[in-house]
Structure 1
Amino acid sequence: MSPEISIIIPAYNAASTIAASIQSVQNQTIQDWELFVIDDGSTDRTLACLQSIAEQDRRIQVISHTNQGVSATRNLGIEQAQGEFITFLDADDLWLPDKLAAHMQHMQFNHELAVSFGRVAFINQEGKLTGQISTSQLKDLQLADLLYENPTTTTSNLFVRRRIFEQAGFFATDMSFAEDLEWLCRAIWLTKGKIEGIDRVLMQYRTSQGGLSSDLERMETGWEVLMGKVKAYAPDEVQKHYAIARAIHLRYLARRASRLGLPPKVGVDFMNRAFQSDLRIWFRQPHRTLLTALVTYGRYIYFTIVKNKGKR
């Protein structure tokens, strides 16, 4: 009989972290699963590492294809999956041992539930906890809530009934940012399924100072692509929420710019445009808006003073 849970790990040049990620799967309290690890054309030792691990565990299947991007790679895994439930893990993230058990129990007690997720703890590149934990809304989530932010944080946090992919389709292969959020919006809207979180940390998300996470302009462009896709099937929702949702996203980019230590004017530009988009962000999460504004404009003022002193 096929296992109830199918796990999909897309891997690209992940030789330094993939073994730990797979170990976090093998450490699960639920052991009845199948794992598809798909090498997306890596140029390092990722494939060799995967093959060595798979030789020791018959539940692990390794697939390799030419580089096609993370969405196409995840989609290939979905096509291979046999389980009633499908879940994902990125090649540098980690699961806590009770993650699968918690989601299975959540699904069994909520038959209308389409997607389950949990809280996320953030770790740095060395795998050490940063002290930050996701605080997203967990219940009563509607499409409008997803336009404001991604409550799941990362694809590694998704636990999905297989039939939802059959009804709503797979991940969009023409997106390089927010492809998981685009799928969530589409799935919830088209299937009328319920998405709900568990109020416990179930995974650890590795943050990065480089790559896509730091490419703020690309993230802004990707967000606009997301809105365009949602508008195709829910135009009234996008029209109603676009301005304030854009303001919240720009506020996030301003906060991200400060955390990355980018030049202060970068954050100021994002924050200025956030206020220009919709001043209602002062009333939606006012504490976060105030704190982000203080840090963003405070950095700009401080560095301007320091810079001017240096010229004297």
Structure 2
Amino acid sequence: MGDLAVSIVMPAYNAASFISQTVESVLNQSFVDFELLIIDDGSTDNTLEIAYQYANSDRRIRVFSQVNRGVSATRNHGIQLAKGKFIAFLDADDLWLPAKLTAHMEHFAANPNLAVSFARVEFMSWEGQPTGQISTSRLLNLKPEDFLYENPTTTMSNPIAKAEVFAQVGGFAEDMSYSEDLEWLFRVMCHQRKDQDNGKVVWQIEGIDRVLIYYRASPSGLSASLSRMESGWDLLIDKARLQAPALVNRHYSLARAVHLRYLARRAFRLGLPSPVGLDFINRAIASDWRIFLREPHRTFLTLLAIYWRHLGSLLKAVY
């Protein structure tokens, strides 16, 4: 690694519609000691052409092209190319607020045991309009099991990590396209690094209580995508068991219930046929009844909404 502060890895696949806005959000950062690595993952539109236009106008931008390998392999490629002491990731359709890098650099400076810093996320529509919906995930005192239940960071466009963390725990699992961020974060939380003065110290992952990113919600509403998300979570569990089998087994049933409830809520918000959400919420309850004790308001509202919609569809079919 060189003396450069931050390497920003931007995987890009058919992102011509949004990549200019995303790159501009990087160039507008108040913190300027960075390099931006744009890695085109076999795009078939003019993503690569746009990326080169920016690289020709700013020496901090480097562009690379590869055959399509998927987002995890693309991020790992970026990690190998990175020269910075810190590594950040930004999907080519998300946006950073101008204070993003400055806030995280200050966060790292204040906490020497911090491995990964993240912040609040505001969701925006596919068209780029802010929704006012802000992530409510836990920010402090995170434990490994928290990454089995839900995703505190929301998106990989959010966290920034010390480069040495990747050197110690490795990169992203390239056989994963869903929950690959959670698998990596769980691995970081389970890892112990050696500290010459204090023996072994567990890396910390901690959030900043302010919005620093706009996350573009995908319009995809196919039930097949929710099934792939469930399969990705199952693979997360399989890999997490290799790191901490007793911990995973202790939390598995309730964590699975929470994930299935999330998929049920997503199916409802996307307006999918009622049996899709019904299947997810029924299996959530069957996995662990304690889901009614964990965020009971969210569980009961999800249950009520899905069953009400299903009842409505049944009555409509009869009449």
Contact 1:212 / 1:219 at 8 angstroms: preserved in 2? no
Shift of 1:188: 1.2
Give the corresponding residue for 1:202: 212
Letter paired with 1:162: A
User: Counterpart in 2 of 1:164?
Assistant: 165
1:10 match: secondary structure: strand
TM-superposed deviation, 1:76:
0.8
Counterpart position of 1:96: 97
Query: How far off is 1:131 after superposition?
Result: 2.0
Cα 1:214–1:4 change in 2 (3 A) is farther
Contact 1:264 1:296 in 2 (8 A): yes
Aligned pairs for 1:142-181 (under 5 A) are: 142-181=143-182
Q: Which aligned runs of 4 or more in structure 1 are off by greater than 6 angstroms?
A: 211-214
Secondary structure of the 1:208 match is coil
SS of residue paired to 2:175: coil
Q: Which moved more, 1:213-222 or 1:256-265?
A: 213-222
Gaps of 5+ in 2: 193-201
Please give the per-residue CA displacement for 1:32-78, whole angstroms capped at 9, x wherever unaligned: 11110000010000011111111111000000011111111111111
In the alignment, structure 1 residue 217 sits paired with structure 2 residue 218: no
Question: Residue in 2 aligned with 1:308?
Answer: 318
- Give the Cα–Cα distance (whole angstroms) in 1 for the partners of residues 268 and 221 of structure 2: 16
Q: Please name the residue that 2:140 is paired with.
A: 139
Residue identity opposite 1:69 in structure 2: G
Distance 1:264 1:211 in 2: 13
**What's 1:276 paired with?**
286
3-state SS, counterpart of residue 145 of structure 2: helix
Among the aligned pairs, what percent are the same residue? Answer: 56
CA offset at residue 2 of structure 1?
3.4
In structure 2, give the amino acid aligned to 1:204: Y
Cα offset, 1:211, TM superposition: 7.5
Letter in 1 for 2:242: A
- The 8 Å contact of residues 147 and 186 in structure 2, kept in 1 or not, is answered as yes
| Match in the other structure for 2:115 | 114
Query: Displacement, 1:213?
Result: 9.1
TM-score, L = length of structure 1 = 0.97
Structure 1 distance, partners of 2:3, 2:51, is: 22
Mind listing any 5+ residue stretches in structure 1 that lack a counterpart?
A: none
Which residue does the alignment assign to 1:67? 68
Q: Note closer, same or farther for the CA distance 1:162–1:213 as it changes in structure 2 (3 Å cut).
A: farther
The structural deviation recorded for 1:3 is: 1.9
Determine the C-alpha separation between the residues in 1 that align with 2:222 and 2:158: 19
C-alpha root-mean-square deviation of aligned residues, in Å? 1.2
Instruction: Give the distance between the partners of 1:214 and 1:48, measured in 2 at CA.
Output: 32
1:155 is paired with a residue whose SS is coil
Does structure 2 retain, via aligned residues, the 8 Å contact 1:98–1:202? yes
In 1, Cα distance between equivalents of 2:133 and 2:224: 18
Q: How far apart are the structure 1 equivalents of 2:224 and 2:29?
A: 32
Aligned residues: 309
Question: CA–CA distance in 2 between the matches of 1:122 and 1:307?
Answer: 35
